[in-house]
Amino acid sequence: MVTYIVRRLILLLPVLLGVSLVSFGLLQLVPGDPALILAGEEATEEVLARIRHEYGLNQPLPVQFLAYLRHAVTGDLGISIQSRQPVAVLLGQRFPFTLKLAFLAIVVSATLGVVAGVIAATRRNSTLDLAALLGSLVGISLPIFWLGLLAILVFAVKLRWLPAGGTGTLAHLILPALVLGAASSAVIARTTRASMLEVLRQDYVRTARAKGVDERLVIYRHALKNAMIPILTVFGLEFGYNLGGAVLTETVFSLPGVGRLIVEGIFARDYPVVQGALLLVATTFVLVNLLTDVAYAFFDPRIRYD
Amino acid sequence: MKRTMALWLVGLLAASGLILAQSAVGQQPTAGGVLTFAAGSDPDSLDPQNTQSNPGEQVNRMMYDNLVRFNAKMQIEPALAQSWTQSPDGLTWTFKLRKGVRFHDGSPFDAKAVKYFFDRVLGDEKPFKASLYTPFVQGAQVLDDNTVRVTLKQPFAAFLFRLAHSAGAIVSPAAHQKWGKDFALHPVGTGPFKFVEWIKGDRVVVERSDAYWGGRPLLDRVVVKTVKEDSARVLMLESGDADLIINITPEDIPRLRKDPRFVIESIPTARALFITINVKKKPFDDVRVRRALNHAVNREAIVKSIYQGNAEVIPGIVAPLQNGYAKLSGYAYDSKKAKELLAQAGVPALKVKLWSPKGRYVKDFELAQAVQQDLAAVGIEATLSTMEWGAYLSATKTPAEQTDRELFLLGWSPSTGEAHWGTFPLLHSSQQAPKGDNRGFFASKALDDAMDKAGTATSDKARLAALREAQQIVINDASHVFLISPNMIVGASKKVHAVVNLPLELTYLTEKSWKEK
């Protein structure tokens, strides 16, 4: 198992190299001059020249890319063109918000989704099942942006139960986590339902019932545990996606996370920030996938990694 | 004898003033409280000589002072400098500084600090805003602790306006020397509020500086939050999470106005919106075509329907709140005249390219659409297209040989608040893109001369006369399709008082701002 994990971690390096190359290339293709955007409409030629010189924007592209790589391997991800702060520091400040939000969201969506999916599967074709299916359809279809604003309108403006956005306390994360989690829970619910239905048909479930095992134990200990593999996959994907920064949720709720950092960086053509952030996102995604794969082995002892 | 009389007079005036104020307002300013201000973007820097956007300038105005500042009517008034004199040849300005002022770090504010400011902007560090001063400032000398002499390379009539610009804020030399490049993260000024923390992308927190020379600030703390989404900002005001918000979209105004908890103010700004014409491209080199474009647009209808009255028609490129604005008559809405002029110029049916940004200025794209419709009514088929702001900036700054741009919407708000900076960068022939912001390549010797006269004038009278002349030339030559000046819309809870809304689209708090409990 350990060698497997180490091997997977080593594979991280070519992934990061590829991400660097692609993000660098794509950013250069986009029209727009970061110096102009930073300096604003009232920029003089000397200010623009100074910005370009400071960030090496005039050098040939391969030179810029190699210089970037050289610094990146030592942990120096460059300086943000917009805020003139080290990119690593910026990421260090913003990532905890994204991490907290993604974690809370996955807790919400896992709870909601799995419970709804199990209920739907065990009471198949009943009204509860239809309700859960409809609920998940609405959840997947509703734009998260709209849902977020609606949540603020109801819970912050009308009811005054929760803050309308920003940071400060755990209460500030409740609405965003609920909104983000609701969207993910729909996918998890559907996957859980399908997987559970598959498992509940199996012979060993019939045997367990015949043995006289309590129905709840049958469902949660025997069936659900065996149904977890596809559900885990979805957990991993959703968590990884949210760690990449749920930019719409972050924008609506004014959370300073990585998603907004990337999008704002793209609009400002802040190359170092976008590249650095994408490297971070790629790393977290690879690690989450690894975690998911290791978790498979926990749920299904037949899976071995050596 | 004189002195005691003067003191009595002051006392009497103060007392009567207080009584009048009491009876007029019926409310006593209360000390204390935290005010939450939701702005649309994060500051780019808190170092005034390197700050390039309004969010940063707003926060800086709470933490720093300049030698002189703007009052609400955009006139110059003393701040850190109590008085000043100008030599007859206009080359030397002598400032007498306020005594007993200290920076937030305890170091004294004196003539050495002012000299440090000038040395910094003129020196090798080359902060971003240095070009506001380098073309015409020679240097500064300390005459004594409270007197500083500034020498100019040539007379510059708008010098005081440059000093009142946000980039003229005086920073603590001790702090700047200590922190160097990181000064922006540890700002130290003489302002009513001192820096507490800046969580990037989230908020800036400042707290009152008890020793402020203008009096102990009434508010304890100001939290400036970054809330990007327009609707979210409005919701924050309604939920009470914000006491003050800016950049409210016109659609939200009627609903907020009906709510007795809030006060919504629509304030005229120094910003002008216009459509730049590429005068190097045929047929826009013909002044008749440009005048026709101007006659075709129904500006009054635009102000009414698109801006719901929250804008003002302007005759030229200068907005009324820019110091030096001349009240001239612009182009009347006359589609018949427009068609005549087009026929005379030999282009009765014209196809043009109209570009506009989306979301950069208030209702920019809707404004462009209205212009497109007005042009269609006089036989001009305009294809309207938009692009993302960063791309737009680049696409409108390429030199004449490399571009096919024809008509494009832009805005301009001179951050010095006066008309020379409202005209020179956009129209002087030396500022043609890509070097400067004359993105339409306009060149007129008469205008250049008028601008140069306005720039070097040694008396206010001469400056204003030259600016008036320049504005008339611009209108006659129809360098742009002149449009409107949009208002800035600020919303606050009824409990908030004495917020400063400067027509430079800057909203901030001072020592006099207060909040009811």
Q: Kindly state whether B178 is in contact with chain A, defined as any CB-CB distance less than 8 angstroms.
A: no
Alpha-carbon distance of B244 to B493, in angstroms, equals: 7
Per the document, the length of chain A is: 306
- How does strand B480-493 pair with strand B350-356? unpaired
**CA–CA distance from B375 to each of B112, B336, B409 (Å)?**
58, 12, 14
How close, in Å, is residue B143 to chain A by CA atoms? 32
In the block, tokens 């309590």 appear at: A214
Question: Using alpha carbons only, how large is chain A's radius of gyration in Å?
Answer: 24
Q: Does residue B14 surpass a pLDDT of 70?
A: no
Alpha-carbon distance of A278 to B371, in angstroms, equals: 41
pLDDT tier at B18 (50, 70, 90 boundaries)? low
Interval B438-470: pLDDT, tens: 999 999 999 999 999 999 888 889 999 999 999
Chain A CB contacts of B391 under 8 Å are: 30-32
**Contact check, Cβ <8 Å, A165/B236:** yes
Report percent pLDDT > 90 for chain B: 82
- Looking at chain B, which residue has its C-alpha nearest residue A267? B390
pLDDT at B22: 47
**Coil, strand or helix: which one is B492?**
strand
Alpha-carbon distance of A150 to A159, in angstroms, equals: 12
Rounded to 5°, angle at Cα B380 from B376 and B386 = 80
Neighbours of B86 (CB within 10 A): 17
Are B432 and B438 in contact, with CB atoms under 8 Å apart? Answer: yes
Q: Amino acid identity of A300?
A: D
- So what's the ipTM on this one? 0.85
Residues 6 or more apart whose Cβ sits within 8 Å of residue B415: A42, B57, B165, B166, B167, B421, B504
Chain B CB contacts of A30 under 8 Å are: 391
Q: Tell me the HSE value of A88 on the side-chain side, using a 13 A CA sphere.
A: 8
> Looking at residues A282-296, what average pLDDT do you find?
91
- Looking at chain A, which residue has its C-alpha nearest residue B231? A149
Which among A85, A149, A165 has the least Cβ separation from residue B241? Answer: A165
Helix axes A171-200, A87-122, angle to 10 degrees: 40
pLDDT tier at A31 (50, 70, 90 boundaries)? confident
pLDDT at B448: 96
Per the document, the length of chain B is: 517
> Looking at residues B53-72, what average pLDDT do you find?
94
Are A269 and A37 in contact, with CB atoms under 8 Å apart? Answer: yes
Chain A CB contacts of B437 under 8 Å are: 41-43
Q: Does residue B25 surpass a pLDDT of 90?
A: no
Q: Does residue B392 surpass a pLDDT of 50?
A: yes
DSSP letters for B170-239: PPPHHHHHHHGGGGGGS---SSSEEEEEEETTTEEEEEE-TT-TT---S-SEEEEEE---HHHHHHHHHH
> Looking at residues B217-242, what average pLDDT do you find?
94
Which DSSP letter does residue B183 get?
Answer: G
pLDDT tier at B9 (50, 70, 90 boundaries)? low
**CA–CA distance from B344 to each of A211, B1, B292 (Å)?**
100, 78, 10
In the block, tokens 């005594």 appear at: B99
How close, in Å, is residue A72 to chain B by CA atoms? 22
Alpha-carbon distance of A141 to A127, in angstroms, equals: 21
Chain A CB contacts of B394 under 8 Å are: 31-33, 36
Interval A183-230: pLDDT, tens: 888 889 989 999 999 998 889 888 888 988 888 888 888 888 889 989
Nearest residue to A110 (alpha-carbon basis) of A172, A177, A169: A177
pLDDT tier at A4 (50, 70, 90 boundaries)? confident
Interval A237-272: pLDDT, tens: 999 988 887 899 999 999 999 999 999 999 999 999
Helix axes B419-427, B460-477, angle to 10 degrees: 40
In the block, tokens 């507490």 appear at: B196
Which residues of B, range 117-146, sit inside 8 Å of A by Cβ?
126, 128, 131
Q: Does residue B375 surpass a pLDDT of 70?
A: yes
As a whole number, the mean pLDDT across chain A is 89
Are B164 and B416 in contact, with CB atoms under 8 Å apart? Answer: yes
Nearest residue to B483 (alpha-carbon basis) of B325, B335, B370, B321: B370
pLDDT at A38: 83
Q: Does residue B258 surpass a pLDDT of 80?
A: yes
> Looking at residues B118-144, what average pLDDT do you find?
93
**Contact check, Cβ <8 Å, A40/B436:** no
> Looking at residues A53-72, what average pLDDT do you find?
89
Is B14 or B318 the better-scoring residue by pLDDT? Answer: B318
As a whole number, the mean pLDDT across chain B is 92
**Contact check, Cβ <8 Å, A45/B436:** yes
Interval A111-153: pLDDT, tens: 999 988 998 888 878 888 888 888 888 888 889 899 999 999 9
Chain B CB contacts of A46 under 8 Å are: 126, 131
pLDDT at B2: 65
pLDDT at B23: 45
Query: HEC profile for B70-94?
Result: ECCCCCEEECCEEEEEECCCCCEEE
Which DSSP letter does residue B109 get?
Answer: P
**Contact check, Cβ <8 Å, A165/B389:** no
**Contact check, Cβ <8 Å, B200/A164:** no
Q: Does residue B333 surpass a pLDDT of 90?
A: yes
Q: Does residue A33 surpass a pLDDT of 90?
A: no
pLDDT tier at B24 (50, 70, 90 boundaries)? very low
Q: Does residue B16 surpass a pLDDT of 70?
A: no
For the record, the structure tokens of A186 come out as 């729909």
- Looking at chain B, which residue has its C-alpha nearest residue A152? B235
